[in-house]
Structure 1
Amino acid sequence: MHWIDWVVLSLFLLYTIWDGTRRGKDSENIEGYLLAGRNMPWWAAGLSIMATQASAITFIGTTGIAYVEDMRFVQVYLAIPFAMILICMFLVPFFSKMKAFTAYEVLEERFGLKTRLTTSGLFLISRGLALGAVIAAPSYVLALLLNLPLSITILIIGFIATLYTMYGGVAGVIQTDVKQMSVMVFGLVFSFLVIMVEMPDDVGMSDALYLAGSLDKLTALDLNFDLSEKYNVWSGVIAALFLMLSYFGTDQTQVQRYLTTSSVGEARKSLLLSAYAKVPMQFFILLLGVMMYVFFVFQPAPISFRATEPIAQTEQQVAASSQIAQEYQQALEAREAAAMKAVKNRNEVAQQAFVEADAAFNEIRAKDLALQAEIRQTDVNDTNYIFPYFILKYIPIGLVGLIVAGIFAAAMSSIDSELNALTTVSIVDWYKRLRPDDPGETHFLKSSRSVTVMWGVIATFSALMLGETKSIIELINQIGSYFYGSILGVFILLLWVKKANGTGALLGLISGMLSVFTFDRLFFNVNTSDYSFFFPWTQVPEGYSKAIEFLWLNPLGAFVVVVVGVLISLAFPKKGKSQYSFILIL
């Protein structure tokens, strides 16, 4: 990276740290530190919700998915508008009426302390695990920039993020999110423009779309109903609805954003901002990844976007690597020539020749990745390195630093948002609730800062253990899907099942978690369609594929919680009536 980019990056990061920490001194109690005194404007909270979810994961992971696969990942977000409307109708007024600090403290009076602690404990586990991936995401960029091992960059960013969060508080987090979202959008739009400008003179936007469509890269909707398929319209509208309802309605990371607003109306507007903007934004990011794929049809592309240090190899491996390199160069040139003919002729013969040339190209690339995996005795992939490579190679000097700073700062925003949420749940749902005495607000404020440091250390070591992942954005959703459906089921019991009691809710929650972890290990033989369960201590035989993909774990968990919760509550009814034994009606 040029020294000018280093200056831009350094200045932007220093400004971000200053801007985020300067509001921390205004926090005189935990309500100010954790909820910004409940006086944040709706647009700031809404942008913070989007920035927390997007971050570097969106930049790196989503563009990588579109480059390697297609645009079907956008189907995961089709349910967001419906989820936001339901949350605005039911959960927002409920949280507002209860004057809650966390999403889980409202469970105690109806279902008891055990259910509150179990549910909040699941949040701590799930978010603690996911935060490791959030830290790992920008570390890929830093590793590329600084030429350092991934573990070192993880330690650096984990330390900085923890320090920043400890002083800033949620007010500082939201304030920086607003500015970082604008930098993120600028980086995405500018990168798209660079791709279009750097295309060959004979290849315009319509030609690029034609080539992408020829390779089925523009496929965004899949109408086939298949539980074993990760992304289709049905999983996006039905299964992902449960994921989004739980994520935005019961996950403290998001709930805490609209709890900082002053009224129900302000909170609703902050959520509806995401409802209107998220799907178009995600579509554009995926389109950016697809256009980047077409861009590298005409520009020199490395056989692997991930630069690795050479290691000892056998003579056979050296010979195989040399042979693959020669085949790759030939395939690269053949694909470019086929693409130009397809654009010029626009007929079925030329189009098919381009598709075949692209398939041959990717076959050789896959062969190289397999060889590198054999040499290093570990999974090797470069999905998360594609966009960083493009930034460093093709973005002009000065703007490289700004775009990388935007990715870095956006990642910091997500990290400190999640650290803040983990701290809030730890202090409010556990430490303050279980402490027999009240030492005062000053004590809890200091404790909040200490707990932030603790979670920062845990998250950093979690990132170190994760190592490489094929897609960061998928990993986040997969981790969440193990927990979100079951937690949502408890809130369904709370709001709409008036006969549900604490025993039913707790046993339903446990049953939901067990069902999710069990059915996640259900596989079928692709040749005979035989179904078998393979648990963590057994190895899945070759030829078996997952029967239920991770998005469907969300409605499964919620359904089991509600069914078991209702049956247990009817079998063991609780004596007396709680003031919250009602169906919420607006």
Structure 2
Amino acid sequence: MSWIDWSVLIAFLGYTIWDGTRQGKQANSIEGYLLANRSMPWWAAGLSVMATQASAITFIGTTGIAYVEDMRFVQTYLAIPFAMIFICMFLVPFFSRMKAFTAYESLEERFGLKTRLTTAGLFLISRGLALGVIIAAPSYVLSLLLGLPLNITILIIGVIATLYTTVGGIAGVINTDVKQMIVMMFGLVFCFGLIWYHLPDEVGFDGALYLAGSLDKLTVMDFNFDLTEKYNVWSGVIAAFFLMASYFGTDQSQVQRYLTTDSEKNAQKSLLLTAYAKVPMQFFILLLGVMLYVFFIFNSAPASFRATEPVAQTEQQQIAEQKVLQEYQMAHHAREQAAYNAVKNRDAASQKLFVETDAQLNAARDAELDLQAEIRQADVNDTNYIFPYFILNYVPIGLVGLIVAGIFAAALSSIDSELNALTTVSIVDWYQRLKGDMHEEAHYVKSSRGVTFFWGALATVSALLMGETRSIIELVNQIGSYFYGSILGVFILLLWVKRATGTGALIGLISGMLSVFTFDRLFYSATSDNYSFFFPWNQVPDGYTKAIEFLWLNPVGTAVVVIVGLLISYILPKK
């Protein structure tokens, strides 16, 4: 990056630190530090909810998925409006009546301390694991953009987020989230406009959509019911409903946002903002990824967007790579010419030729990635590097710094919220509850700041030790799917099953977790029509694929918790 871009980025990061830490003056009580004295406007809380869920995962990972595959990933978010209505009708009134600090306080009155601590502990484990990924994944890309060592970018993200979250509390988090959301959306909209502007005159936006449609890149809906498919309408509406209802309704990182509002109505309005805006936003980001694919039809692009220098190369591998790159360049030129003809003629023959040349180019690209993986003996998937490559090579000087600031903003807006939520659960559900309310407010505020610093340091260290991920956004959803369905099941028992007991809820929760782990290890062989379980200590044979994709683990966990919880509650009724 140029010195102008560096200046813009440093100015943004400096402003973020100042803006977040200055809110710490108001955090002189535990309610002020953790809930901003329940005084945040609904629109700020709503934007913070969206910023927390969006993060750099949305900025980088979603565009990469659309580029490599198509737009079916938007189906994952189809359940959000339904989940938000469900939460507004049942969970928000419940939390508002209790004046709770956390989502898990309410469990103790019905189910006892063990269930509360276990559920809160699962949150700490799940979000603690995800937080390392949220720091590590964008750091790999930012290290490429900035030309800095990976460890430095991890430390920049981790230290800045930890600093202003520790000092500013939840008010600092929400205020910075709002600005970070604006910067992130500006970056996305600007890049979309830049791609559109640089399309050839004879192609235009209409021609770009025609080419993308010819390659099935605009596929949005898949109505085939298949448990082995990650993304279709059924997994998006049914399975993802359990994920979204649990994430936005029982995950402290989200619940804490709308607990900062001053009324039940405003809490509901903050969630409905996400309900209305989230699906169109995701659709737009996926369309950006598709437009990026069309952009590189007419502009030069490397066979691998991830710049890797092989550790060692044999003479045979060097010859193979030269051949692959030559085939890639020939295919790129042929595809470009075929694309012009396809847009001009719009007939079946021209369209078929364009599709064939695109397949040849992607075959050469896959061969290059496979060769790099063979040389390095490691995964070199470049999904998370596609959009950053465009930023680095095609965005004008001065604006590169602002777009990179948007990626930083996306990462920080998710990390700060997770840190604050982890602190709240650690202090309220564990420390304060087990120690008893025996200290003054100042002690708990000081303890909260210390715990925030601890979680930030732990997440940063874990990010430094973590290996690179294939697709950022999928990995975080997969981690969540191990926990969310089971936790939602406990809240269903709490709200609607009067006979449910603490023993039933606790055993149901443990059973749900075990069932999710078990079904995640169920594999299917299409050649022999055989189902088999393969656990981490087993090697999965060739020809086997997962029988149930990760989104369906959420309803499995919920159903097992409710069924087992009911049975145990009837067998061992509360005395």
Deviation string for 1:316-365 (max 9, x for gaps)?
11111111111111111111111111111111111111111111111111
Superposed, 1:23-38 pairs within 5 Å as 23-38=23-38
Is 1:200 aligned to residue 200 of structure 2? yes
The secondary structure found in structure 2 opposite 1:298 is coil
Q: Which residue of 1 aligns with 2:380?
A: 380
Counterparts in 2 of 1:437 and 1:101: CA distance versus 1, 3 Å: closer
**Rounded Cα–Cα distance in structure 2 between residues aligned with 1:237 and 1:525:** 27
**Rounded Cα–Cα distance in structure 1 between residues aligned with 2:281 and 2:209:** 18
Q: Which residue of 1 aligns with 2:391?
A: 391
Matched to 1:8, the amino acid is V
**Rounded Cα–Cα distance in structure 1 between residues aligned with 2:437 and 2:254:** 30
The secondary structure found in structure 1 opposite 2:532 is strand
**Rounded Cα–Cα distance in structure 2 between residues aligned with 1:476 and 1:338:** 39
Matched to 1:515, the amino acid is S
The secondary structure found in structure 1 opposite 2:313 is coil
**Rounded Cα–Cα distance in structure 1 between residues aligned with 2:564 and 2:163:** 43
Is 1:456 aligned to residue 441 of structure 2? no
**Rounded Cα–Cα distance in structure 2 between residues aligned with 1:508 and 1:250:** 17
Superposed, 1:527-566 pairs within 5 Å as 527-566=527-566
1:259 Cα deviation after fit? 0.3
**Rounded Cα–Cα distance in structure 2 between residues aligned with 1:462 and 1:562:** 34
Is 1:432 aligned to residue 426 of structure 2? no
Deviation string for 1:109-162 (max 9, x for gaps)?
100000001001000011011111211233133201232332332233212221
**Rounded Cα–Cα distance in structure 1 between residues aligned with 2:336 and 2:462:** 42
1:461 Cα deviation after fit? 2.7
Deviates more, 1:222-231 or 1:335-344: 335-344
Q: Which residue of 2 aligns with 1:227?
A: 227
Superposed, 1:421-570 pairs within 5 Å as 421-436=421-436, 438-570=438-570
The secondary structure found in structure 1 opposite 2:524 is strand
**Rounded Cα–Cα distance in structure 2 between residues aligned with 1:374 and 1:443:** 56
**Rounded Cα–Cα distance in structure 2 between residues aligned with 1:214 and 1:34:** 51
Structure 1 portions without partners, runs of 5+: 576-586
Q: Which residue of 2 aligns with 1:326?
A: 326
**Rounded Cα–Cα distance in structure 2 between residues aligned with 1:477 and 1:436:** 35
- Alignment check: 8 A CA contact 2:184 2:409 kept: no
The secondary structure found in structure 2 opposite 1:114 is helix
Matched to 2:257, the amino acid is R
**Rounded Cα–Cα distance in structure 1 between residues aligned with 2:232 and 2:99:** 39
Q: Which residue of 2 aligns with 1:252?
A: 252
Matched to 1:28, the amino acid is N
Deviates more, 1:516-525 or 1:434-443: 434-443
Deviates more, 1:539-548 or 1:304-313: 304-313
Q: Which residue of 2 aligns with 1:307?
A: 307
Q: Which residue of 2 aligns with 1:8?
A: 8
TM-score (norm 1): 0.97
The secondary structure found in structure 2 opposite 1:88 is helix
Q: Which residue of 1 aligns with 2:572?
A: 572
Matched to 1:168, the amino acid is G
Matched to 1:371, the amino acid is L
**Rounded Cα–Cα distance in structure 2 between residues aligned with 1:362 and 1:151:** 33
Deviation string for 1:32-63 (max 9, x for gaps)?
01100001110000000001111211110000
Is 1:348 aligned to residue 348 of structure 2? yes
Deviation string for 1:176-233 (max 9, x for gaps)?
1112212111111110110011111211111100100111000010000000000000
**Rounded Cα–Cα distance in structure 1 between residues aligned with 2:466 and 2:133:** 7
1:454 Cα deviation after fit? 1.3
Matched to 1:191, the amino acid is C
Moved over 4 A (4+): none
TM-score (norm 2): 0.99
- Alignment check: 8 A CA contact 1:180 1:406 kept: yes
**Rounded Cα–Cα distance in structure 1 between residues aligned with 2:226 and 2:52:** 31
- Alignment check: 8 A CA contact 2:310 2:375 kept: no
**Rounded Cα–Cα distance in structure 2 between residues aligned with 1:149 and 1:334:** 38
Identity %: 77
Q: Which residue of 2 aligns with 1:110?
A: 110
RMSD: 1.0
Structure 2 portions without partners, runs of 5+: none
Deviation string for 1:503-541 (max 9, x for gaps)?
000000000000000000000012222100000110101
The secondary structure found in structure 2 opposite 1:524 is strand
1:436 Cα deviation after fit? 4.5
The secondary structure found in structure 2 opposite 1:23 is helix
**Rounded Cα–Cα distance in structure 2 between residues aligned with 1:141 and 1:9:** 15
- Alignment check: 8 A CA contact 2:523 2:533 kept: yes
Is 1:286 aligned to residue 286 of structure 2? yes
**Rounded Cα–Cα distance in structure 2 between residues aligned with 1:273 and 1:530:** 46
The secondary structure found in structure 1 opposite 2:296 is helix
**Rounded Cα–Cα distance in structure 1 between residues aligned with 2:444 and 2:466:** 32
